[in-house]
Chains A and B, each alone.
Chain A
Amino acid sequence: MHIFKNTNFDFLKYRWPAIAVSWIIILAGVFAIWTKGIPKGVEFAGGTVVITQFDQGVSVQQVRAALDKTFPGGDTVVQSYGDPQQHQVMVRVPTTGQESGSSLSKTQDQIKAALTQASLGNFKVVGSEIVGPIVGQELTRKGLLATFVSLFFILAYLAARFQLSFGVGAVVATIHDLLITLAFLAFFRYDLSLNVIAAILTMTGYSTNDTIVIFDRIRENLRAMRRDNLDHVINVSINQTLGRTVITSGTALLTALALFFFGGEVLHGFAFTMVVGIITGTYSSVFIAAAIVSFWRGSGPARAAAHAPGSAAASLPPAASRSKQRKARAS
Chain B
Amino acid sequence: MSLRTKIITIIVVFVVFFALGVYPIMASRYKLPAPQWLMAHQLKLGLDLKGGVHLVLQVQTDDALNVETEQEMSRVQQELKTRGVPATATLVDVSHFKVDGVPPAQDQAFRQAATLEAPNFDRSSGVNGSYTFSMKPNIVVQLREDAVTQARQTIERRVNELGVTEPSIAQQGANQILVQLPGVTDVDRAKEIIGSPGMLALTLVEQGPAATKEDLLRATGGQVPSDMEVLSGGPDVAAGPGAAASFYLVRRVPAVTGHDLRSARPELDENNQPAVGFTLNRNGAAAFSRVTGENVGRHLAIVLDKIVQSAPRIENRINDQGRINGSFTQEEAQNLALILRSGALPAKLNYLEERTIGPSLGADSIKSGVLASAIGLISITVFMLIYYRLSGVNAIVALVFNLVILVGLMAYVGAVMTLPGIAGFVLTMGIGVDSNVLIFERIKEELEAQHGVRASINAGFSRVFWTLVDTHTAALISAAFLFQFGTGPIRGFAVTLFFGLVSNLFTSIFVSKTLFEMELSQRKVAALSI
Contacts and interface: CB of A to CB of B under 8 A. Distances in A.
Interface of A: 1-2, 51, 53, 82-83, 86, 99-102, 104-105, 124-132, 134-135, 138, 142-143, 145-147, 149-150, 153-154, 157-158, 161, 170, 194-195, 197-198, 201-202, 204-206, 208-209, 212-213, 216, 240-241, 243-244, 247-248, 250-256, 258-259, 261-264, 266-267, 270-271, 274, 310-313, 317-319
Contacts of B473: 157
Interface string B385-401: 01111000000000000
Contacts of A312: 463, 466-467
Nearest to A153: B477
A104 B351 contact: yes
B423 interface: yes
Overall SS of chain B's interface: helix
A206 B437 contact: no
B376 A83 contact: no
Contacts, number: 244
Contact of A143 (B58, B195, B361, B485): B485
A129 B482 CA distance: 22
Overall SS of chain A's interface: helix
Contacts of A318: 445-446, 448-449, 451
B69 interface: no
Q: Which 8 A-B pairs have the closest CB atoms?
A: A205-B478, A264-B368, A255-B430, A318-B449, A146-B485, A126-B358, A205-B475, A150-B481
Contact of A263 (B187, B384, B426, B438): B426
B427 interface: yes
A256 B486 contact: no
B354 interface: yes
A224 B506 CA distance: 31
Contacts of B430: 251-256
Given A194-B486, A313-B463, A318-B445, 19 more contacts: A2-B444, A100-B352, A101-B351, A105-B187, A127-B357, A127-B358, A129-B355, A135-B352, A146-B481, A150-B482, A154-B474, A201-B478, A202-B497, A212-B467, A212-B470, A255-B431, A258-B379, A262-B371, A312-B467
B464 to A, nearest CB: 9
A101 B350 contact: yes
Interface of B: 48, 56, 58, 173, 187-188, 191, 195, 350-358, 360-361, 364-365, 367-369, 371-373, 375-376, 379-380, 383-384, 386-389, 419-420, 422-424, 426-427, 429-431, 433-434, 437-438, 441, 444-446, 448-449, 451, 462-463, 466-467, 470-471, 473-482, 484-486, 489-490, 493-494, 497
A261 B365 CA distance: 13
Nearest to A50: B356
A194 B48 CA distance: 13
Contacts of A129: 354-356
Contacts of A252: 427, 430-431, 434
Contacts of A100: 58, 350-352
B429 A255 contact: yes
Find the residue from B375, B423, B484 having the highest chain A CB count within 10 A.
B423
A208 B471 contact: yes
Contacts of B191: 104-105
A141 to B, nearest CB: 10
A254 B352 contact: no
B376 A149 contact: no
B479 to A, nearest CB: 6
Given A135-B56, A209-B474, A244-B441, A251 B360 contact: no
A329 B58 CA distance: 70
Contacts of B353: 130-132, 135
Find the residue from B187, B369, B470 having the highest chain A CB count within 10 A.
B470
A198 B352 contact: no
A279 to B, nearest CB: 13
A40 to B, nearest CB: 15
Find the residue from A142, A197, A206, A258 having the highest chain B CB count within 10 A.
A258
A182 B489 CA distance: 22
B352 A134 contact: yes
23 contacts: A99-B352, A101-B351, A102-B351, A104-B191, A130-B355, A134-B352, A143-B485, A146-B481, A146-B484, A161-B470, A198-B490, A202-B424, A202-B427, A206-B431, A209-B431, A247-B441, A253-B430, A262-B371, A264-B365, A271-B423, A312-B463, A317-B463, A318-B451
A132 B474 contact: no
A249 to B, nearest CB: 8
Given A264-B364, A264-B365, A267-B419, A198 B471 contact: no
B375 A258 contact: yes
Nearest to B353: A131
Nearest to A83: B364
Given A157-B473, A216-B467, A131 B352 contact: yes
Nearest to A150: B481
B437 A270 contact: no
A251 B482 contact: no
Contacts of A256: 427, 430
Contacts of B448: 318-319
A263 B490 contact: no
A122 B343 CA distance: 40
Contact of A255 (B195, B355, B360, B376): B376
Contacts of A131: 352-353
A251 B466 contact: no
Contacts of A213: 438, 467, 471
Contacts of A134: 58, 352
B354 A201 contact: no
A259 B376 contact: yes
A51 B356 CA distance: 10
B463 to A, nearest CB: 5
